[in-house]
Amino acid sequence: MDSSSTTHDRDVSPEGLDRKASVADETARSIVNTNFANAEVDGVLEEGSLDPRYRAKATILNAAMQDMGFGAYQKFLFCVCGFGWFIDNMWPQVTAIILSSVQREFKFHPPSLLALSQNIGLLFGAAVWGLAADIVGRRWAFNLTLLVVGVFGLVAGASPSFEALGVFAALWSFGVGGSLPVDSAIFLEFINGKSQWTLTLLSVWWAGGQIVASLVAWPLIGNYGCPDPDTCTKDNNWGWRYFLFAMGGLTLILFIVRFFVFNMYESPKYLMGKARDADAVEVVHKVAEYNKFESSLSLDHLEAVDRHYRTSESDTSSHPARLEDYTTATAAVRRNLEKFKGEHIRALFRTRQLAYSTTLIILLWGIIGLAFPLYNAFLPFLLTNRGAQLGEDSLSTTYRNYVIIGVCGVPGSLLATAAVELPRLGRKGAMCIATVLTGVFLFLSTTAKTSQALLGWNCAYSVTSNAMYGILYAYTPEIFPTSSRGTGNALAACANRIFGIMAPIIAGYADLTTSVPVYVSGALFIAAGFVMLLLPYEPRGKASM
């Protein structure tokens, strides 16, 4: 059901919506209790935050997915969605890793200009791909993002100038920007409430992105980079170009696996939200067949909700007529025009509590969008300069340390996965602790008197920052309704990228050879951690809607 159909209901007062929600929940619970052995009916969002009929059908689909469990399809999906987390961290690391070598060759100033190009691409990518996921569906956005990244990343290795590299960095980042809004929505909509902790576990792939980028960069840039800025030319500085060729090729391989090896179905909840109930049921049965499971879901279960509405005295909606003319050409044109009326955005602010939650999430992504790249995007640059100050200025040493820091992110992801299911901690508590500790470790890193001490503090930072991002990436889509999840993710990602654009500007004025950017980044992380305690929803033990 298209959420815009709620405007046809005669009784749209809060009391009327609550009344319909109660009726819908009773109908859904009756169907769930009768037909599904392992029912999951408790949703994250409160009554009134969703269209009642949509809520009832989502409850039934949640029960069907709960009955099916976490099978072979979900495990394969875990891997291919993990590719999105992988490139979402790997390519920003690529920009950070090549920064020192590129700056030595092209001698542009300030060094933060390359990160600025990247963040502009990430911003437009988040907006376009996130909205597209809600308007035209998840599948195409899911597959095309990797193709865009791979092609432009590969071509960037042949850049003849900094201007060309900056353009290609923006273009590959346009594809990377779609990873957060699209991939998290897809994975969440194919798993049940009891398996939602695996969304946090996906952050292992995120840590893997930095590890792989660091391992490949270590021999290439370390051995084929120019150590002396005064004599650096294209002829003796091929390391970063080889590195881009390797990363672009790897991303294209991931695209091939996604597009040609894995058969990605459209999200059942997305289809149901577009009044395509029969298609939603068909997808559930295809997934069940892949898992060697026989689902008891039928189209009649979803149509029972519609029948209940047609006979309910509190509903004289014209929605059934809209369902009947769904396939007509006129209706299709009308629907496509209606998609641009902003309904997907309004749905995220439907109730006071949902509006409060959405606002805080956007604020948090904005704060972290400034804090994280202000430090992480310049980490190899900072390590190189700080290493020189501490007596170690070898490029090989810099990238060796970067590999070690990346490896330390893996236990952070595992700790986060365990912490989010603890009863007295949950998503919010674990996320708050990880975020505050991230800021604390950044402050402590400025006290390092040796390169080993600096490495140690950065390893601690890697553990907690990966835990923080792992939980935040999972929490965000969990508290958005499916019909507007891509849009909600896009708004959060856009806030992240807008503030990310500010990071290289601040870094340019603050001077990367000092600790000022580190202090600012640490303070922002600590502030964000305490804001997280104000979030109204705790998804632990509940199903996304």
Q: Are 248 and 155 in contact (CB under 8 A)?
A: yes
Between vectors from CA 404 to CA 401 and to CA 406, what angle results, nearest 5°? Answer: 110
pLDDT (tens digit per residue) in 125-146: 988 888 888 888 888 888 899 9
Whose CA is closest to 180, among 461, 406, 480?
Answer: 480
- In this predicted structure, what is the pLDDT of residue 286? 94
Angstrom distance (rounded) from CA 18 to CA 49: 9
- Per-residue pLDDT at 45 exceeds 60: yes
- In this predicted structure, what is the pLDDT of residue 4? 37
Q: Please name the residues in contact with 304: beta carbons below 8 A apart, sequence gap of 6 or more.
A: 27, 31
Confidence at 329, pLDDT banded by 50, 70, 90? very low
pLDDT (tens digit per residue) in 336-358: 445 445 777 888 888 889 899 99
Confidence at 361, pLDDT banded by 50, 70, 90? very high
- In this predicted structure, what is the pLDDT of residue 24? 53
Confidence at 198, pLDDT banded by 50, 70, 90? very high
- Per-residue pLDDT at 528 exceeds 90: yes
**Model confidence pTM above 0.85:** no
- In this predicted structure, what is the pLDDT of residue 490? 87
Tell me the average pLDDT across 443-452.
82
Q: What is the 3-state secondary structure (H, E, C) of 202-259?
A: CHHHHHHHHHHHHHHHHHHHHHHCCCCHHHCCCCCCCHHHHHHHHHHHHHHHHHHHHH
Main-chain dihedrals φ then ψ at residue 264, nearest 5 degrees: -85, 120
- Per-residue pLDDT at 328 exceeds 50: no
Confidence at 497, pLDDT banded by 50, 70, 90? confident
pLDDT (tens digit per residue) in 450-495: 778 888 998 999 999 999 989 998 899 888 888 788 888 889 989 9
Q: What CATH number belongs to 72-265+350-532?
A: 1.20.1250.20
167: number of Cβ within 10 Å: 15
- In this predicted structure, what is the pLDDT of residue 87? 93
- Per-residue pLDDT at 511 exceeds 90: no
Residue bearing tokens 């997808």: 283
* C-alpha count within 13 angstroms, C-beta hemisphere, residue 272: 30
Amino acid in position 288: A
Residue with the larger pLDDT of the pair 392 and 543: 543
- Per-residue pLDDT at 516 exceeds 90: no
Confidence at 163, pLDDT banded by 50, 70, 90? very high
Residue with the larger pLDDT of the pair 21 and 305: 305
- Per-residue pLDDT at 368 exceeds 50: yes
Whose CA is closest to 212, among 302, 119, 82, 117?
Answer: 82
- The tokens describing 390, both together, are 């501490």
- In this predicted structure, what is the pLDDT of residue 380? 59
- In this predicted structure, what is the pLDDT of residue 298? 86
Angstrom distance (rounded) from CA 267 to CA 187: 9
b/e 435-473 (16+ beta carbons within 10 angstroms → b):
bbbbbbbbbebeebeebeebbbbbbbbbbbbbbbbbbbb
Mean residue pLDDT of the chain comes to 81
Angstrom distance (rounded) from CA 40 to CA 259: 32
- In this predicted structure, what is the pLDDT of residue 291? 93
Q: Please name the residues in contact with 252: beta carbons below 8 A apart, sequence gap of 6 or more.
A: 146, 147, 150, 151, 154
Q: Please name the residues in contact with 386: beta carbons below 8 A apart, sequence gap of 6 or more.
A: 448, 451, 454
- In this predicted structure, what is the pLDDT of residue 392? 53
- Coil/strand/helix, residue 543: strand
pLDDT (tens digit per residue) in 61-79: 888 888 888 999 999 999 9
- Per-residue pLDDT at 32 exceeds 70: no
Confidence at 25, pLDDT banded by 50, 70, 90? low
